[in-house]
Amino acid sequence: MTAEGLIAALPKVDLHRHLLGSAGAGTVAELARRHPGQGVPTEPEAVAAWFDFTDFRHFLAAYTAVNRLVTSGADVEALIAGLAADLARENVRYAEVTVTPLSQLKTGIDPAELAAALDAGRRAAAAMDVEVAWIFDVAADDGPRGGLDTLDWVLRHQPAGTVAFGLGGPEQGFPRKLFRDSFAKARAAGLRSVPHAGETSDPGEVWSAVRDLGAERIGHGIAGAGDRRLLDHLAHHAITLEICPTSNLRTRAVGSLADHPLPRLLDAGVGVTIGTDDPGMFGTSLGTELRLCHEEFGLSTQDIVELVRTGIRAAFCPESTRRKLLAEVARVSRAVPAPPGA
């Protein structure tokens, strides 16, 4: 079986994918036509050019502008429908999708309407054989108060499929430790901890995500590659990093794929799962990311299978889902030849 065929056949999970960032150029252009005057292009070709980010700050500005276009539950359901169709085409069976509730509420969506839209969208995804779970995150620039307000919305509405509490947005000026209180309360309420850290900062913020926020997985974490003691800690405590190579390239978090620390992380024994982050904005998919790992980083087909297995093991899914996916991976991977000398 070729690498291309294997990647297509494997049942996959995507654990690092933002709902808003999953909207492609066509969807964003349609939303811009519905809601003019927000500084977002109204033609798909212009949106695609607008998505040529110069740095992480530029990306955040565009992301915020797109967020202003999502003003109703119907808009949210449309985003989920598009996301689920994309996942189904890629044979992604389970996804943990990050939603930033306060960002959506700021555009005027009623709190209960947002929860109802997420429930409806999740049911629609299930009809496409895609199981969706939710990570509700805090935008760091909303500050500690935003963390508590986000958690309040989550606990009041608890949309079906809620599994985790996250933290995204800028790292500079917003150290992870600022959000200790909301993460402690979220963990006490049974939510799993999955903050972003070390995407555009340094190993200290990854340590803080672990020590201050009780991180069980970390979004990105690529800065951790510079700290051997941290890598040993992540490996020993089975804290998985959600690595999104195209995202890191497009936001200029890394200068080139040759500079990307993914091979070093794997060599250090750190658990890695591959995610898409904002695939609509970055023009990627999970299949594309796995092919990139094979073609650019030299990972073997057996390495690709192991990345997929790591993602399934790190998912906050029901055990029945995990067993089913791992059994199917085993069946598909039997068609992969063993490496020479094995």
CATH number of the domain enclosing 307: 3.20.20.140
pLDDT digits (tens, 9 = 90+) for 63-87: 899 999 999 999 999 999 999 999 9
Write down the residue that tokens 């199917």 correspond to: 328
pTM of the shown model: 0.94
pLDDT at res. 342 = 47
pLDDT digits (tens, 9 = 90+) for 185-242: 999 999 999 999 999 999 999 999 999 999 999 999 999 999 999 999 999 999 999 9
The dihedral built from the CA positions of residue 13, 18, 21 and 24, taken in this order, carries a sign that is: positive
Write down the residue that tokens 């969807």 correspond to: 27
Predicted confidence (pLDDT) at residue 43 exceeds the cutoff of 60: yes
The full DSSP string for 183-224 is HHHHHHTT-EEEEEESSSS-HHHHHHHHHTT--SEEEE-GGG
pLDDT at res. 340 = 57
How many Cβ atoms sit within 10 Å of the Cβ of residue 216?
Answer: 18
- Please state, in angstroms and rounded to a whole number, the distance separating the CA atoms of residues 213 and 104: 24
What is the DSSP secondary structure assignment for residue 255, as one 8-state letter?
S
Q: Give whole-number Cα distances, 115 to 27, 175, 254, 332, in Å.
A: 22, 29, 36, 37
> What is the mean pLDDT of the segment spanning 121-148?
98
Judge whether 225 lies within some domain: yes
Partners of 135 in the beta sheet? 98, 164
Judge whether 338 lies within some domain: no
Judge whether 342 lies within some domain: no
How high is the mean pLDDT of the chain?
A: 95
Judge whether 340 lies within some domain: no
Pick the catalytic residue from 77, 199, 242, 289: 199
Judge whether 339 lies within some domain: no
CB 16 within 8 A of CB 272: no
Predicted confidence (pLDDT) at residue 335 exceeds the cutoff of 90: no
- Please state, in angstroms and rounded to a whole number, the distance separating the CA atoms of residues 182 and 186: 6
- Reported as type and span, the H/E element at residue 167 is strand 162-168
Judge whether 30 lies within some domain: yes
Predicted confidence (pLDDT) at residue 117 exceeds the cutoff of 50: yes
Q: Is 199 a catalytic residue?
A: yes
Predicted confidence (pLDDT) at residue 93 exceeds the cutoff of 80: yes
Kindly indicate the confidence band of residue 144, based on its pLDDT and cuts at 50, 70 and 90: very high
Q: How many domains does the chain have?
A: 1
Q: Look up the domain containing 300 and give its range.
A: 3-333
Judge whether 341 lies within some domain: no
Judge whether 71 lies within some domain: yes
pLDDT digits (tens, 9 = 90+) for 1-14: 799 999 999 999 99
